[in-house]
Chain A
Amino acid sequence: AQSVAQPEDQVNVAEGNPLTVKCTYSVSGNPYLFWYVQYPNRGLQFLLKYITGDNLVKGSYGFEAEFNKSQTSFHLKKPSALVSDSALYFCAVRDTGTGGFKTIFGAGTRLFVKA
């Protein structure tokens, strides 16, 4: 069965420090991976995706993610965190078993950036 795991419920980081939000996945076939962010009282927004190509994917708001096939991971990173990055982050993977229409979301990781 295909799945995605976010092992940390919460990540705390000081403003200006680098941040990492972890994600691991399990899929059959080639993975299509996504990161979404949910700011307070708002819907989810797409951040970035990996389909194929370079293992380092750059996205919105200075975020990037590194695809690691051997470790089946797709960690979200940012070199210097901002207080405004505080939000709920979801990793997601395309469910290849349903014609590609479905997406499986992780449980989410809440990021707190302290000034």
Chain B
Amino acid sequence: DVKVTQSSRYLVKRTGEKVFLECVQDMDHENMFWYRQDPGLGLRLIYFSYDVKMKEKGDIPEGYSVSREKKERFSLILESASTNQTSMYLCASSLTGTSGYNEQFFGPGTRLTVL
């Protein structure tokens, strides 16, 4: 089974702090994603990466950056946390494969609270 792990289940930070969220997948997937999940808004894509050192902006990249130095690891960085970044953060990975697109496998999520 594919396993996607996230470094923390719950995190509390103060406004202005730099926050790192780590995600690791163990199935050699090319693609990795960071979403935030807010009630009534579904999942919104922050950033994604289709290869090592490659990154693409999603729908809401402002206030976030990412890093993918190794294939299995995709980090989300909040440069200066703000209260409107309080949310559930979900990491996912997927295989490109022969069909060119496959389902995503999600981590358990990190609930971040910014005070």
- Stretch of A42-50, A61-69, A76-84 contacting B (4+ beta carbons < 8 Å): A42-50
Tell me whether A106 and B90 are in contact in the complex, defined as CB-CB below 8 angstroms, given that A43-B108, A101-B48, A101-B56 are known contacts. Answer: no
Find the A residue at minimum CB distance from B91: A43
Residues of B9-44 contacting chain A, CB below 8 A: 31, 35, 40-44
CA distance A102 to B48 in the complex (A): 8
Interface bracket on A: 20 to 34
- Give the residue of B40, B99, B107 whose beta carbon is less than 8 angstroms from that of A43: B107
The interface residues of chain B lying within 8 Å CB-to-CB of A9 are 40
Per-residue B-contact encoding for A11-43, CB less than 8 Å = 1, 0 else: 000000000000000000000101010000011
- B48→A43 contact, CB < 8 A: no
The verdict on A112 contacting chain B, using a C-beta distance below 8 Å, is: no
Residue from A45, A99, A102 whose CB has the most chain B CB atoms within 10 Å: A102
B45 touches A102 (CB 8 A): yes
B103 adjacent to A34 (CB under 8 Å): yes
Q: Is A90 within 8 A of B106, CB to CB?
A: no
| Given A34-B103, A101-B50: A106 in contact with B42 (beta carbons within 8 A) | yes
Is B58 an interface residue, CB under 8 A from the partner? yes
Chain A: which residue is nearest B50 at the CB level? Answer: A101
Nearest residue (CB) in B for A52 is B99
**Of the residues A42, A100, A105, contact of B42 by C-beta under 8 Å:** A105
- Which residues of chain A have a CB within 8 Å of any CB of chain B? 9, 32, 34, 36, 42-46, 49, 51, 90, 94, 98-103, 105-108
A42-B108, A43-B106 given; 19 more Cβ-contact pairs under 8 Å:
A9-B40, A32-B101, A36-B106, A43-B4, A43-B109, A44-B43, A44-B90, A46-B104, A49-B103, A90-B42, A90-B43, A94-B101, A99-B50, A101-B48, A101-B56, A102-B48, A103-B104, A106-B42, A107-B41
